[in-house]
């Protein structure tokens, strides 16, 4: 299959560069050399795209745009691949008519990207283990990585990182957003910054803080991981951008054509289905083209697939539809149809919770699994609820096969360790008087809120962590483990650490729980040899109560556990002893 470059953006062609951008009003191309700015008028082509062909300009040229609607605002190319510096929030960015040329990063004309004629199929397949990580937080404290490389994408290719991933039998790492983002405007006055990246400005430009080596750094890291048998999935944000609400900064899309890129209510106000103040209008073909071009760009770098943040927005037009155009366009694309697609199947808009309603072939984050597993081990529900989740949530995904992505903890919410050590959130460090983050986490503290030196409390928490992890690894379908949960990572009770680019949000490798780490490695081995990850229904499942008698319908509601026997494996879940045991036909157990 041939991979083609997008028609928009900056493309080197011989001894010149062609620039193309979509905008509602006349656009001026701005070329930067040293401290000077050279302006080149662009010409409309009749399809809403403005173009310029500039001889003598090649790769490495810094550039931006100014639009006649507010020429004081320097704008970043939505198709930028490289930026010369990160975005930094400044109140002047949101003030109409105020010059921002010194505040906005310049895009850099990229060298022609060698595009493969063929791409290898994804290494990751449904049923595998996804390891979710924040590039910066995962590597900032790793003792084996040179300080200069910590916090970068290149650090993920370090032999120590690859060895750790292989010990857990990770099939693919899922990178939290790596494209350039900007801090929400309330963070700088608090002395905080966005640590997660879920506030991107344009969809393809890597954040220079994470990828100082640019596109090559990502491609080389992906290749190194692939050589070790580990795929890469990118977490992308196509539901909003960092220009926020009406008071937000003008950086790119807002300055070019806000009525096209953003969804508006009939009275002209911005629709807010994301909690960020603006929502991309994926019902518009121009917006979908930008999304598809971004997916093609990253696919050409060798990634296995994508996880879509607040994915319900992708299919709003204005309501959610499982037959929305973007699903057909992805399926019809010979390149994208080969990639793994994962939805976070909810947003805060009307009818926003759509778990189980994405197209065949799409995987979906299953928060019902997280909540019901926690509720079972906390003692809120009986074994029948847990068995349904363990078997692939056929009440949600049907009986022919599951598309679930099971997790017991993720980046958003308590860490695994904090789930059994805190009954309440402790987000005071976020500067919002502990009002942010989820209020109901189905968590428990084993009698003491927060850290404890009591041996009984510590032992109970360790048993609970092992029980939660055992349930995850015994479950049918794809599973997701968040980086550091296998070594006892804590965020000190903060369940919304998006603004904690500091030890609260970083993985503490020096304090790793090596016994828990070894247990998780054993769980991963047991899962693999028992064939539990197959998305297909269990072959010939037989359910027994904890005394070994066939489970009856009446017994499920109040049962404290069960034994599942199926071809290749037996799983025993016992809430009374806080134990999950996985046995396989090879004679090993954990």
For residues 455 and 443, what is the distance between their CA atoms, to the nearest angstrom? 20
Measured CA distances, 440 to 373, 374, 424 (Å): 14, 12, 8
103: which residues sit within 8 A by CB, 6+ positions away? 74, 88, 90, 92, 93
Query: Would you say the C-alpha torsion 460, 452, 142, 307 has a positive or negative sign?
Result: positive
Structure tokens at 289: 């083209």
Residues β-bridged to residue 30: 39, 64
What is the SS3 string spanning 299-339? HCCCCCEEEECCHHHHHECCCECCCCHHHHHHHHCCCHHHC
Q: Respond yes or no on whether the N-terminal peptide bond of residue 22 is cis (omega within 30° of 0).
A: no
Structure tokens at 67: 């639009």
DSSP conformation letters of 466-498: HHHHHHHHHSSSEEEEETTGGGT---TT-S-GG
Structural element, H or E, at residue 287: helix 285-299
Number of Cβ within 10 Å of residue 463's Cβ equals 16
- Active-site annotation, residues: 309, 344
Residue 311, exposed/middle/buried by CB under 10 A (0-12, 13-18, 19+)? Answer: buried
Number of Cβ within 10 Å of residue 69's Cβ equals 18
For residues 393 and 469, what is the distance between their CA atoms, to the nearest angstrom? 18
For residues 156 and 147, what is the distance between their CA atoms, to the nearest angstrom? 13
Structural element, H or E, at residue 470: helix 455-474
For residues 329 and 308, what is the distance between their CA atoms, to the nearest angstrom? 16
For residues 436 and 323, what is the distance between their CA atoms, to the nearest angstrom? 34
Number of Cβ within 10 Å of residue 107's Cβ equals 28
């Amino acid at each position: 299959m041939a991979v083609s470059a997008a028609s928009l953006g900056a493309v080197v062609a011989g001894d010149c560069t062609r620039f193309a951008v979509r905008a509602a009003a006349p656009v001026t191309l701005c070329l930067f050399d040293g401290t000077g700015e050279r302006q080149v008028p662009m010409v409309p082509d009749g399809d809403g795209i403005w173009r310029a062909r500039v001889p003598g300009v090649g790769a490495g040229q810094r550039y931006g745009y100014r639009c006649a609607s507010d020429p004081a605002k320097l704008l970043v190319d939505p198709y930028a691949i490289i930026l010369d510096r990160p975005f930094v929030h400044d109140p002047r960015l949101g003030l109409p008519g105020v010059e921002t040329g010194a505040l906005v990063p310049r895009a850099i004309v990229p060298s022609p990207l060698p595009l493969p004629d063929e791409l290898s199929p994804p290494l990751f397949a449904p049923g595998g283990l996804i390891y979710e990580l924040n590039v910066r937080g995962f590597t900032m404290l790793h003792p084996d990585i040179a300080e200069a490389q910590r916090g970068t994408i290149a650090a993920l290719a370090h032999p120590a990182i690859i060895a750790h991933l292989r010990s857990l039998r990770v099939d693919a790492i899922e990178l939290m957003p790596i494209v350039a983002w900007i801090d929400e405007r309330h963070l700088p006055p608090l002395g905080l910054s966005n640590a997660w990246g879920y506030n991107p400005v344009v969809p393809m430009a890597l954040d220079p803080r994470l990828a100082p080596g640019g596109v090559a750094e990502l491609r080389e890291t992906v290749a190194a991981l692939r050589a070790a048998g580990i795929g890469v999935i990118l977490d992308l944000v196509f539901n909003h951008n960092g220009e926020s609400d009406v008071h937000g900064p003008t950086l790119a899309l807002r300055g070019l054509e806000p009525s096209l890129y953003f969804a508006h209510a009939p009275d002209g106000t911005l629709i807010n289905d994301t909690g960020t103040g603006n929502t991309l209008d994926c019902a518009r073909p121009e917006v979908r083209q930008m999304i598809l071009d971004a997916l093609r760009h990253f696919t050409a770098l060798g990634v296995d697939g994508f996880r879509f943040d607040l994915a319900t927005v992708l299919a709003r037009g204005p309501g959610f539809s499982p037959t929305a155009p973007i699903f057909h366009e992805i399926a019809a694309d010979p390149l994208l149809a080969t990639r793994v697609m994962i939805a976070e199947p909810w947003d805060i808009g009307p009818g926003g919770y759509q778990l189980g309603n994405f197209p065949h072939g799409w995987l979906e984050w299953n928060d019902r699994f997280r909540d019901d597993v926690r509720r079972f081990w906390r003692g809120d529900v009986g074994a029948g609820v847990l068995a349904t989740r363990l078997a692939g949530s056929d009440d949600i995904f049907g009986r022919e096969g599951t598309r679930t992505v099971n997790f017991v903890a993720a980046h958003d919410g308590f860490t695994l360790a904090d789930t059994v050590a805190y009954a309440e959130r402790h987000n005071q460090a976020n500067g919002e008087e502990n009002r942010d983050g989820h209020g109901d986490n189905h968590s428990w503290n084993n009698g003491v809120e927060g850290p404890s030196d009591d041996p009984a409390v510590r032992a109970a928490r360790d048993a609970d962590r092992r029980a939660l992890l055992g349930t995850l690894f015994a479950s049918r379908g794809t599973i997701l483990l968040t980086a550091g949960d296998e070594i006892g990572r804590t965020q000190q009770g903060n369940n919304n650490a998006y603004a904690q680019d500091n030890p609260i949000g970083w993985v503490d490798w020096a304090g790793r729980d090596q016994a828990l780490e070894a247990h998780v490695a054993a769980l991963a081995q047991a899962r693999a040899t028992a064939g539990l990850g197959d998305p297909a229904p269990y072959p010939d499942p037989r359910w027994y109560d904890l005394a070994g008698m066939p489970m009856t319908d009446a017994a499920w509601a109040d049962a404290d556990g069960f034994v599942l026997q199926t071809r290749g494996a037996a799983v025993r879940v016992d809430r009374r002893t806080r134990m999950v045991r996985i046995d396989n036909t090879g004679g090993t157990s954990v």
